[in-house]
């Protein structure tokens, strides 16, 4: 297993490659993925190609890693998760984003993936982030449940913080610090997670 691959023995995270383009394209046809993300809709093969060549490959060079979730080391892509640094020169904050194919949902895979990514993100010998933020369009309770189970603390609502295909959307924000445990957080507002 190379240094860019993460695994807990039942889930593998590795950088997506050009060999995954068709699977990524197929997964991103799922309406719920486009509904809750800022990715293009409709999502085409050209979008997946650009994702690999313009985001994934250069991202690894600038502390902005992206991993494909796989059910086995050489398995197909069933989801995606990545970290994006804040961009502020002295800030050690990253934002996490993720999606999961419908057939893989409901088994805790994304929570496990998020914990693996946080461990790598906080590791001083890997990415050395001190804070990882989660943001989701208001109403995305499935994503909120994943963040809550992975130890993220709810911090509030950001008005119009995300532009989704030309429309400003309110977002929830939560965060986990390097010193926070990966335990489920119980103090999220009712109805969110």
Q: What is the per-residue pLDDT across 93-138, written as a single tens digit (0 to 9) for each? A: 999 999 999 999 999 999 999 999 999 999 999 999 999 999 999 9
Please give the pLDDT value at position 1: 45
Dist CA 39 CA 64 (whole Å): 17
Whole-prediction pTM: 0.95
Q: With CA atoms as reference, report the closest residue to 13 among 133, 136, 110.
A: 110
**pLDDT given at position 190:** 83
Predicted pLDDT at 87: 75
- What fold characterizes domain 6-177? Aminopeptidase (3.40.630)
* pLDDT, mean over the chain: 94
Where do the domains of the chain lie?
A: 6-177
Confidence (pLDDT) at 191: 76
> Residue 86: what pLDDT?
83
Residue 116 per-residue DSSP state = H
CB atoms within 10 A of CB 130: 14
Give the per-residue pLDDT at 88.
75
């Amino acid at each position: 297993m190379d240094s860019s691959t993460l695994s807990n023995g039942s889930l593998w995270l590795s950088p997506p490659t050009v060999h995954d383009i068709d699977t990524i394209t197929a997964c991103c046809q799922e309406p719920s993925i486009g509904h809750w993300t800022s990715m293009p809709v409709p999502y085409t093969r050209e979008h997946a190609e650009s994702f690999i060549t313009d985001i994934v490959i250069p991202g690894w060079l600038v502390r902005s890693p992206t991993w494909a979730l796989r059910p086995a080391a050489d398995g197909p892509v069933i989801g995606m998760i990545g970290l994006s640094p804040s961009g502020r020169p002295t800030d050690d904050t990253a934002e996490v984003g993720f999606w999961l194919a419908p057939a893989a949902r409901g088994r805790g895979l994304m929570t496990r993936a998020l914990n693996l990514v946080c461990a790598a993100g906080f590791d001083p010998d890997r990415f050395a982030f001190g804070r990882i933020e989660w943001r989701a369009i208001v109403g995305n309770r499935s994503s909120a449940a994943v963040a809550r189970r992975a130890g993220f603390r709810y911090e509030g609502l950001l008005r119009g913080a995300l532009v989704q295909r030309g429309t400003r959307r309110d977002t929830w924000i939560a965060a986990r610090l390097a010193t926070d445990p990966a335990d489920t957080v119980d103090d999220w507002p009712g109805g969110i997670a």
